[in-house]
Chains A and B, each alone.
Chain A
């Protein structure tokens, strides 16, 4: 959800503040934040809002200054230097009847680079879908394109995380509610190596994938394999995975704290296009995800272990009687799936920020993608996740922003109603 929200806020920031930047002229030197506060009047036009108070503080909490918007609704505040800041809009200073479109976004956290004059956006008014078309420079087409790109990126991240979930289900029957925590684990491991140890993000991501994969293997060996061997039922294992998920999630909160934090590199980037918010990181993570997913498909299709994985997922007994060592395949599935989930976590951390709850927030969308594609199939997970990601993002054209996640989940329920086995699943699977 956060990802999506940050995408949309970023898109709107870029769209709304380009004209504002021109109006204010270039801030030649020094760091600053600026912006224009506007609202829709009764005639449906944008009008500036005067006298709104915005307070900026350093990440540490020390207040930098307070600024009030002028008759044009514009504000500029000089900052002492580059670094992390947060800006809070005083909701009480808004005119009667005007509210923030997203009440949770009354405080924005941002990073300032040297000599950067950064636009900040506090969108006003109820978040009615398409209510803002009038002022969006790119119009509905540009908006749809931006959402499509972010939807594809989001869908690919879901897919990468969900392949493991689907394969684990296919090979062992376990509905793993702790899979979101593997995603978070990957992002946290990358954050630790990247920020705490000071390694560049790219090698840090590789290290995180290795640690994540190892953790997946360890989980199977230490927990799930013994449980399978003593014949624990599938629903019991489902409940155990929920317990594990709670345990890990609060362990992360205990260690990492409740704040979300960015990686050291690539945190802030400029959009490549004027009317549409698409940053280089967006494009790189899309290309990287596609490359990795093609790699996954090749492994599944061409290698011995990949074929064995699909065979066990398809029919465990038949695979075993054909001489496949199912337990070894399951271990490999865990390593493979957890590594992918860790990479997905790193990409998700790039798209939003790293936080203790990020994986859990993604879990239901992963389930939606996997179920849509057909539980237990690798390609179904890929396809279903892409559909969910794009659909969730594009639905904001029609539905209020804050309900798009609910839309994604509603799609899941509707699909199960019409085609309960999912797009690529086999009909016999559902009882």
Chain B
């Protein structure tokens, strides 16, 4: 067992691309679900909107990156209106079904051959991050501590990603302490209370959906740039579920919850996967029980089991406050 490599991969994952993408998606979800009580199970649609916004503008239409980022912000705003206007009047469980259906529609449309000229169907788009890395001011070399080092481009990417995560966290902190944030929390607790005070609950919900959606879309932009490709099937329902896992693990309705949750979630995931893989390769686990392909599947099983156990025994997550949970609203 190569514990050093396992630890190295664990920490790399806990601060790497996955952390940035899922962290931003979970911060958005925290605003939706943790603070407003909206059971949005279509978060991946916003991530996909951000990713496809950048990818299509840069790769399909050969326009500069900043226009792509603008499209990556405009698309999720449009999506929030499209998805939110018909659904935000619905009760929580209906909203969950409808948002998950909406996110699948987005994926199916993106992979449809009818849109091949724009999205390149199920093959997706690639090679559009050139402009981003051309902006890299960091000189060549490897940066990091111990065995966790990154080359100049990866360091640049991570610095931008972490800045985005920090800015999003800060934004949530400011928003939640504002009068606007207090209205959101009151909607979560009891919709009728703010309504009786003359607040337009529907508009507040729509604003919450849009702001959280744009934050998640930045996760999509970073996903697209980091992997230099978008493929529609990467934007399926599992991404939403993983973002929920990260959020619940860290603690809902806590400003830092989704950030710490995403780091812990990906760290744990990388740790179990690499430990299992090492154990299989070293022969500690008989190959009849598990081969290296199945390690990935076992990892998913553990995610499912972990989500169940967390929800049953510690729904407030590691840092959450049980009094601030929107979990019992029907």
Instruction: List residues of chain A with CB under 8 Å of any chain B CB.
Output: 99, 101-104, 126-128, 169, 173, 175, 227, 232-236, 238-240, 242-251, 253-254, 364, 367-368, 371, 375, 400, 402-403, 405-406, 409-410, 412-414, 416-417, 420, 429-431
Q: For chain B residues 282-330, which have a beta carbon within 8 Å of chain A?
A: 294, 297-298, 300-301, 303-309, 311-312, 315, 326-330
Contacts of B108 in A (CB 8 A): 402-403, 405-406
Q: Does A126 contact B113, Cβ atoms closer than 8 Å?
A: yes
Which residue of chain A has the shortest Cβ distance to B244 in the bound complex? A239
Contacts of A431 in B (CB 8 A): 91, 191
B92 to chain A, nearest CB (A): 6
Secondary structure of the A side of the interface?
helix
Q: Does A175 contact B96, Cβ atoms closer than 8 Å?
A: yes
Report the separation of the CA atoms of residues A169 and B301 in the bound assembly, to the nearest whole angstrom: 25
Report the separation of the CA atoms of residues A101 and B90 in the bound assembly, to the nearest whole angstrom: 38
Q: Does A235 contact B113, Cβ atoms closer than 8 Å?
A: no
Which residue of chain A has the shortest Cβ distance to B298 in the bound complex? A254
Whether B116 is near chain A, meaning CB under 8 Å from some CB there, is yes
Report the separation of the CA atoms of residues A101 and B328 in the bound assembly, to the nearest whole angstrom: 48
Whether B139 is near chain A, meaning CB under 8 Å from some CB there, is no
Q: Does B311 contact A240, Cβ atoms closer than 8 Å?
A: yes
A428 to chain B, nearest CB (A): 11
Which of A99, A246, A400, A412 sits near B101, CB closer than 8 Å? Answer: A412
Known: A250-B301, A254-B298. A364 touches B101 (CB 8 A): yes
Q: Give the 5 A-B CB pairs with smallest separation, nearest first.
A: A247-B304, A246-B304, A243-B307, A233-B328, A243-B308
A2 to chain B, nearest CB (A): 13
Which of B97, B100, B114, B307 sits near A403, CB closer than 8 Å? Answer: B114
Secondary structure of the B side of the interface?
helix
Q: Does A406 contact B307, Cβ atoms closer than 8 Å?
A: no
Q: Does A103 contact B102, Cβ atoms closer than 8 Å?
A: no
Contacts of A235 in B (CB 8 A): 39, 92-93, 326-330
Total interface residues on B, CB under 8 Å, equals 52
Report the separation of the CA atoms of residues A168 and B1 in the bound assembly, to the nearest whole angstrom: 47
Q: Does B326 contact A420, Cβ atoms closer than 8 Å?
A: no
Whether B194 is near chain A, meaning CB under 8 Å from some CB there, is no
Which residue of chain A has the shortest Cβ distance to B309 in the bound complex? A243
Whether B105 is near chain A, meaning CB under 8 Å from some CB there, is yes
Q: Does B308 contact A244, Cβ atoms closer than 8 Å?
A: yes
Which residue of chain A has the shortest Cβ distance to B294 in the bound complex? A254
Contacts of A239 in B (CB 8 A): 244, 248, 307, 311, 327
Known: A104-B122, A247-B304, A406-B108. A430 touches B91 (CB 8 A): yes
Q: Does A416 contact B304, Cβ atoms closer than 8 Å?
A: no
Known: A127-B113, A400-B113, A430-B90. A413 touches B304 (CB 8 A): no
Contacts of B309 in A (CB 8 A): 243
Contacts of B92 in A (CB 8 A): 235
Contacts of B312 in A (CB 8 A): 227, 232, 236, 240
Known: A238-B93, A250-B297, A420-B89. A368 touches B114 (CB 8 A): no
B93 to chain A, nearest CB (A): 5
Known: A175-B93, A235-B39. A126 touches B114 (CB 8 A): yes
Report the separation of the CA atoms of residues A367 and B113 in the bound assembly, to the nearest whole angstrom: 26
Which residue of chain A has the shortest Cβ distance to B107 in the bound complex? A406
Whether B121 is near chain A, meaning CB under 8 Å from some CB there, is yes
Q: Does B94 contact A371, Cβ atoms closer than 8 Å?
A: yes
Report the separation of the CA atoms of residues A232 and B325 in the bound assembly, to the nearest whole angstrom: 12
Contacts of A169 in B (CB 8 A): 93
A398 to chain B, nearest CB (A): 12
Q: For chain B residues 102-141, which have a beta carbon within 8 Å of chain A?
A: 102, 104-105, 108-109, 111-114, 116, 121-123
- Chain B 6-34, CB-CB to A under 8 Å as 1, else 0, gives 00000000000000000000000000000
Q: Does B122 contact A410, Cβ atoms closer than 8 Å?
A: no
Whether B179 is near chain A, meaning CB under 8 Å from some CB there, is no
Which residue of chain A has the shortest Cβ distance to B290 in the bound complex? A254
Report the separation of the CA atoms of residues A104 and B122 in the bound assembly, to the nearest whole angstrom: 8
Q: Does A254 contact B301, Cβ atoms closer than 8 Å?
A: yes
Contacts of A175 in B (CB 8 A): 93, 96-97
Whether B198 is near chain A, meaning CB under 8 Å from some CB there, is no
Whether B241 is near chain A, meaning CB under 8 Å from some CB there, is yes
Contacts of B298 in A (CB 8 A): 250, 254
B86, B87, B312 interface centre (most CB from chain A within 10 Å): B312
B61 to chain A, nearest CB (A): 21
Contacts of A240 in B (CB 8 A): 307-308, 311-312
Report the separation of the CA atoms of residues A414 and B86 in the bound assembly, to the nearest whole angstrom: 8
Sample of 13 further A-B pairs with CB below 8 A, known A169-B93, A244-B308: A104-B122, A232-B312, A235-B327, A238-B96, A239-B244, A239-B248, A240-B308, A243-B303, A367-B100, A403-B109, A409-B105, A413-B102, A420-B89
Q: For chain B residues 47-64, which have a beta carbon within 8 Å of chain A?
A: none
Q: Does A244 contact B304, Cβ atoms closer than 8 Å?
A: yes
B302 to chain A, nearest CB (A): 8
Report the separation of the CA atoms of residues A242 and B327 in the bound assembly, to the nearest whole angstrom: 14
Contacts of A173 in B (CB 8 A): 330
Report the separation of the CA atoms of residues A131 and B308 in the bound assembly, to the nearest whole angstrom: 48
Contacts of A245 in B (CB 8 A): 304
Which residue of chain B has the shortest Cβ distance to A412 in the bound complex? B101
Whether B98 is near chain A, meaning CB under 8 Å from some CB there, is yes
Report the separation of the CA atoms of residues A235 and B326 in the bound assembly, to the nearest whole angstrom: 8
Q: Does B112 contact A247, Cβ atoms closer than 8 Å?
A: no
Contacts of A400 in B (CB 8 A): 112-114
A101, A246, A416, A420 interface centre (most CB from chain B within 10 Å): A246
Contacts of A247 in B (CB 8 A): 301, 304-305, 308
Report the separation of the CA atoms of residues A104 and B300 in the bound assembly, to the nearest whole angstrom: 25
Which of A236, A246, A413 sits near B300, CB closer than 8 Å? Answer: A246
A161 to chain B, nearest CB (A): 15
Q: Does A375 contact B94, Cβ atoms closer than 8 Å?
A: yes
Contacts of A403 in B (CB 8 A): 108-109, 112, 114
A104 to chain B, nearest CB (A): 7
B87 to chain A, nearest CB (A): 7
Which of B111, B113, B300, B307 sits near A101, CB closer than 8 Å? Answer: B113
